[in-house]
Structure 1
Amino acid sequence: MKREELIRKWLDNELEPKELELFKALDDYEDLLRISNSMQSFKPDAFDTDVELNRLKKSLELKNQQKNWLKPLIAIAAAVVILFGIYQSLSLQETQVSTLASQKQEVKLPDNSNVFLNALSTVSFNEKEWDTQREVQLQGEAFFKVEKGSTFNVKTATGLVTVVGTQFTVKERDDLFEVVCYEGIVRVDHQGQSLVLKKGERYLNIHGALTFNTQTTELNPSWIDNISSFKSMPYSFVLAEFERQYDIKFVENDIDSQQLFTGSFPHDDMDFALKSITLPLNLKYIRNNRMITLKGEQKK
């Protein structure tokens, strides 16, 4: 029996048991039931089987057309969403390089500028936007050799360093912020102040106290050559740098961590390095694996 005849007899409640089984086997049986149920809420004055059959056929045809039309549209929409997500991910994706304790690393930027990271430091930048904005984010300490070109920014949590083409270091550790200019001109914006550094000048801020007129004759930071140097620096910063370079931990007994220290220590000989930072202050130490206990002179 043809599909249309089954539907007509179903509408007229004339289906025999075998015909009812054939009707239930139709592909759109569930759709027919839903349409029939929705039509039961209406009470027309008169019911014409042929008219209703044609109306039902048109409804089913329209529904199938909608399905066929929606499928490619949904596929296109899904593809657009996926492509947009990939574009957003690529456009926002940043390159990030980090160093571990006792590790240093050179990073080549898209314009061939160089960044030399000291231990436990992180630099990040967006290569996709580099042509329009030369900018890096820094945590820790790094030495920069910047190629000439558009403005080059180094952003830290508390300060901004701006240059065009020069060599300089930026250091931000705890309550210390330092910028040293080795070549060219550097502008520093930090804690509401803006100033310009020329070759050999250093900006140093420790615990909020500013020291600007410090001079240096070095051509690059000493840690590039595996030596940490200090001039009138609180001893706590010396110990912190030692921990980063040797991946150890200090325990202090009767130590004045705010006393000033001038000197240096190498990064490739721990025993000699320990003597370099303890003997000038008459300190003793006990080494136990990765833990070093410092002892000061007993007070009488």
Structure 2
Amino acid sequence: MKREELIKKWLDNNLNTEEQNAFEQLEDYSDIIKIDKALKKFKAPEFSVDQNYQTLKPQLKSAKTNSNQWLKPFLRIAAVFAIALSVYLYTSNLDTEVKTIIAEQTSIALPDNSTVELNANSLLSFNEDNWSNNREVRLQGEAYFKVAKGQKFDVITEDGIVSVLGTQFNVKQREQYFEVTCYEGLVGVTHNNKTVKLKPGHTFKIVDGKLLANEKENAMQPHWLHGESSFKSIALKHVITEFENQYNMYIHADNIDTSRLFTGSFTHNNLDLALKSVTIPLNLSYSISGKSILLKRE
């Protein structure tokens, strides 16, 4: 059976066991399934050649024999066209997603040559086909952006929207933590229907629902790009979360006051050194067992 016929029968939920096996062997089977799962709101037109033919058949009894000779092929062509149109709609509305796991970072080139450095345990999505009309990305986690000049560029997060024209900035959005730092140009941050403009070196930070004042940032890029997480008067619980994002470890701090503020940094490539950098300033100790770290008071 031809590929188009298999896809049509799949859209009609009309595959038998043998045809289902053949459908799953198609080269682009996984892509078709991903499209179907990602865009359920775009449903393929329901079109059955046999059903439509049976509907029209009573009206064609008086027609000449040659009419029936072209009708079914015509309906089949129409069905294939409908399938092609559905696949096009699926594809044109499917977002590109890039996800990093714990301790992983990756670089992304956007369609306008803007670049994104995606930090560990983060997700970035955007629509490539509609990019020329709408420069927009969605972010969960942390990313550093170098935006090419052009029309407005938006970074949408659960906590706010960051809008620029062409600049360099960092966005961090994790649980109860939203931070935007401008490194070049001008950045607009909209949070709770209020917009704040950031100049180079300035930061907008909401932690645990509170707006925090920040000292001016003198670094040219965020520290995590160079293998280090840095904090200024941040609750230990958020430091622990970031530590777990950079190391494949789970930290137990049940008997520790994780609301204590921490100022300092830890490296991403040396576990013991990183732990000492966090625990010593807070008069804590630690023990490691497998993938678990237990924090203890001195």
Written as runs of structure 1 = structure 2, the 5 A alignment for 1:188-207 is: 188-207=189-208
Q: What residue number does 2:42 align with?
A: none
- Structure 2: distance between partners of 1:60 and 1:213: 82
- Structure 2: distance between partners of 1:154 and 1:61: 63
Q: Alignment partner of 1:257: what SS?
A: coil
The answer to whether the 8 A contact 1:253-1:296 is kept is no
- Structure 2: distance between partners of 1:236 and 1:223: 18
For residues 186-233 of structure 1, the C-alpha deviation after alignment (integer angstroms, 9 at most, x for no partner) is 000112221111111100001211125542111110000000000000
C-alpha displacement of 1:64: 3.5
Structure 2 gaps, min length 5: 1-59
Structure 1 gaps, min length 5: 1-58
Q: What residue number does 1:122 align with?
A: 123
C-alpha displacement of 1:182: 0.4
C-alpha displacement of 1:76: 2.3
Stretches (4+) displaced over 3 A: 63-66
Written as runs of structure 1 = structure 2, the 5 A alignment for 1:41-120 is: 62=63, 64-120=65-121
Q: Alignment partner of 2:196: what SS?
A: strand
Written as runs of structure 1 = structure 2, the 5 A alignment for 1:13-32 is: none
Q: What residue number does 2:136 align with?
A: 135
Amino acid at match of 1:283: L
Amino acid at match of 1:70: L
- Structure 1: distance between partners of 2:91 and 2:174: 31
- Structure 1: distance between partners of 2:88 and 2:267: 47
Written as runs of structure 1 = structure 2, the 5 A alignment for 1:1-300 is: 62=63, 64-212=65-213, 214-297=215-298
Q: Alignment partner of 2:85: what SS?
A: helix
Q: Alignment partner of 2:163: what SS?
A: strand
Name the CA shift for 1:196/1:212 in 2 (closer, same or farther; >3 Å): farther
The answer to whether the 8 A contact 1:203-1:214 is kept is no
C-alpha displacement of 1:157: 1.6
C-alpha displacement of 1:61: 6.4
C-alpha displacement of 1:101: 0.2
- Structure 1: distance between partners of 2:92 and 2:258: 46
Name the CA shift for 1:102/1:66 in 2 (closer, same or farther; >3 Å): same
What's the % identity of the aligned pairs? 45
For residues 44-80 of structure 1, the C-alpha deviation after alignment (integer angstroms, 9 at most, x for no partner) is xxxxxxxxxxxxxxx9663744532421231122022
TM-score normalized by structure 1?
Answer: 0.77
Name the CA shift for 1:64/1:165 in 2 (closer, same or farther; >3 Å): same
- Structure 2: distance between partners of 1:111 and 1:120: 25
- Structure 2: distance between partners of 1:230 and 1:213: 11
For residues 228-267 of structure 1, the C-alpha deviation after alignment (integer angstroms, 9 at most, x for no partner) is 0000000001011001101110111421100100000000
Aligned length: 240
In our comparison, the structure showing a higher alpha carbon Rg is 1
For residues 1-60 of structure 1, the C-alpha deviation after alignment (integer angstroms, 9 at most, x for no partner) is xxxxxxxxxxxxxxxxxxxxxxxxxxxxxxxxxxxxxxxxxxxxxxxxxxxxxxxxxx96
Amino acid at match of 1:291: S
CA RMSD of aligned residues (A): 1.7
- Structure 2: distance between partners of 1:223 and 1:187: 22
For residues 131-155 of structure 1, the C-alpha deviation after alignment (integer angstroms, 9 at most, x for no partner) is 1111111110000011111111101
- Structure 2: distance between partners of 1:279 and 1:289: 22
